[in-house]
Amino acid sequence: MNPLRLGTDLVYIPRIERLISQYGDRFLNKIFTSEEIEYALKRVRHAFHLASAFSVKEAFFKAVGGYSPFSWKEVVLKREPSSGAPFLELRGKALEIFKALSGNKIVVSLSHERDYVIGIVLIY
């Protein structure tokens, strides 16, 4: 039986706003896929959506034990078209690590309150 792996990350949304303001596309393109950027920029509170993606990327990193030979863009936050429920799409080395852990499923949970968003990733 595989052990449960849990990662969580709390993000201060104004910090993401500051990084976008300070570094612009350089920050966005280093951390997020074009899909994540496009999704967020279609929303009124784009920094909120980018902070959500950032939090689950960090939570995944923590869930796999902080072992990080993968790129930020290999962990992609997506949403179910019908319900909007969040899920992760893994690519490249992130996918290889998940398979090496014998993970069968990833559960993603997001929540927010005012200036904060929390991402939780459970691998089992």
Q: Are 30 and 53 in contact (CB under 8 A)?
A: no
CA distance 8 to 111: 11
Give the pLDDT means over successive 10-residue stretches in the chain (124 positions): 88 98 97 97 95 98 85 96 96 93 92 97 95
Domain housing 16: 5-123
What is the tally of structural domains in the chain?
1
- List, in order, residues 6 or more apart from 53 with CB less than 8 Å away: 31, 32, 36, 40, 76, 77
Give the single-character DSSP code of 61. Answer: H
In angstroms, the Cα distances linking 69 to 10, 65, 90 are 22, 12, 13
**For the segment 36-51, what is each residue's pLDDT rounded down to a tens digit?**
999 999 999 999 999 9
pLDDT at 1: 59
Give the single-character DSSP code of 55. Answer: H
